[in-house]
Amino acid sequence: MPNRRGFTEMGHRLIACCTAEGKPIGVAVIDLDSFKSVNDRFGHAMGDAVLKRFARVAQASLRTNDVIGRIGGEEFAILLHGSDPVASFAIIERIRRSFQAEAEFIEGVPVRATLCAGVAGASTMVSMESLLKDADIALYRAKNGGRNREQTFTPLAASDGTITQIA
C-alpha cells in the first residue's frame, strides 16, 4: 500500500482522469479507532497485524481505478473513481463492516478493531487538498459521534449565501 507521497502522486492522476472524463470523484479519510490501545493492550506486533488486516480488507473492496494509501500512523485515504457521495458512502460502509468482522479476532485474540471514516466528493475539478479537507471534517464529525461509523460531508448553499455542512 502506498505511503502519503505515493497516494498523492496517484491521486493527482486520478483527479485529472475524472476531470477529463467528466466523472465525479469520491474521497474518504479513515482512522482506525483507538489504535493506540491496541498497541498498548496487545503489543506492536498485533498493531501491525491490525494495519495489515485493514489494508487487505480495504484493497479487496476497491476497484482497480480507485486509489488507497496510508497517510499517517493509523490513518488512510481513499479516492474513488467516478463515485458520487452516495456510492462512495456505500463503498466505505462495506469496508467498515468487513473490517469490523475481520478484525473481531486476530490470531485468536479478541482485538475488536473498528474504524471511523469521513466521506466527501466532487463532481467538478477540485484539488486533492480540498477533497481531503472535506473528508477530514466529516471524519472528525464521525469521531465526535462515537466510534465505528462514517459521516458524509455535503456542501450546500444556504439561503444567506454561506456554505453549510450536512450529513
- List the catalytic residues: 74
The one-letter amino acid code at 95 reads: I
| Sign of the CA dihedral with 32 first, then 104, 1, and 87 last | negative
Tell me the C-alpha distance between 111 and 109, whole Å.
6
**Residue 149's closest CA among 159, 162, 140?**
140
